[in-house]
Amino acid sequence: MKLRPRLALSALALTGLALALGSSTAQAQPLAAATGAAATCVTNDDATNAARAAKGGNRTDPHQFTDAQTKAMEAAFAKAAKAKGLSQDSQGRLVTKDGRLAKRTVATSIPVYWHVITNGTAGKLTTTQINSQLSVLNNAYASAGFSFTLAGTETTTNSDWFSIAMPQNGSEPSDAKAMKTALHKGSTNVLNMYSTTFSDGTLGYAQFPGGNLTLDGVVLDYRTLPGGSLSPYNQGDTGTHEVGHWMGLYHTFQGGCAAPGDYVSDTPAEASPAFGCPTGRDTCTATGLDPIKNFMDYTDDSCMNTFSAGQITRMQNQWATYRG
């Protein structure tokens, strides 16, 4: 989930998270609701959070990942990989029973279906604007072996879908569900991108791997695309950040200073999200400076420029398990 300015990129706890344990077309298997496993990340703006704080409300989404939720998600990931005959080697890579690397992400091209939502006036996008966003994604994910190719676009005029709410209380709002149910295309290896606006300041949200196929994908405020009006979040990295969640990455500040944090060993622990571009910020002892330039923090688009090697391995492992 992404907030402006990334104040609380927290997770939505979806009870009964579905986990695809077989092929990309297999029926999803339910994860017990008692785990509180999380499946969606959402983002709001600073004005919304300030208003909540002034009213005594919580500045973060009430469903931000807890330790129990991440443990449940990691256990489900291990189970899903095992069901495919995969396990991790000494370098953290997924391998088959005979020791071969799992089919992962060498020159993996991801088809993208872009769903443009308008109210008849606002929200319209050109193919050039969409391709500019895909260029941002291609530059960010090239080192991980992923590329993104536009498979199709469609424009839908629907005022209910043009101003949707942030997911709350364990599920997506009815308008978002209706939108995705009507428009979603493809299987788990296809990225569905929905551009719209939000009624509560949200900039975007994404479903993590292994969730309900119909609800899979990334939803963005169209003004976050390159050249959009939501400065300093208008260079396309809201999309980069949310696709990172779609690929299975947690925030760099997940878990604060306590291990295992974001379950990636080479991203220094971070006590809280960073805003702006605070060079030299160091909120946890003995782990290195905060990873403020990482795409999975909350800093300005102009500050973000990297995924770590460990994050790349994790994305590839999640892809082989859930989407490949």
Catalytic residues: 242
By DSSP bridging, strand 38-45 and strand 204-207 are antiparallel
Amino acid at 196: T
Cis geometry, peptide bond prior to residue 226 (ω within 30 degrees of 0): no
- Measure CA 192 to chain center: 12
In whole angstroms, what is the distance from residue 243 CA to residue 130 CA?
A: 15
In whole angstroms, what is the distance from residue 24 CA to residue 82 CA?
A: 15
Structure tokens at 87: 């396990």
In whole angstroms, what is the distance from residue 148 CA to residue 246 CA?
A: 13
Which DSSP string do the residues of 11-67 spell out, in sequence order? EEE-TT-EE--SSTTSPPEEPPGGG--EEEEEEEEHHHHHHHHHTT--SS-TTPPPH
CB atoms within 10 A of CB 39: 30
**Among 209, 158, 226, 285, CA closest to 39:** 209
List Cα–Cα distances, 99 to 43, 203, 316, 317, 318, in angstroms.
40, 42, 17, 15, 18
Cis geometry, peptide bond prior to residue 232 (ω within 30 degrees of 0): yes
Around 311, how many Cα atoms within 13 Å sit in the side-chain half-sphere? 25
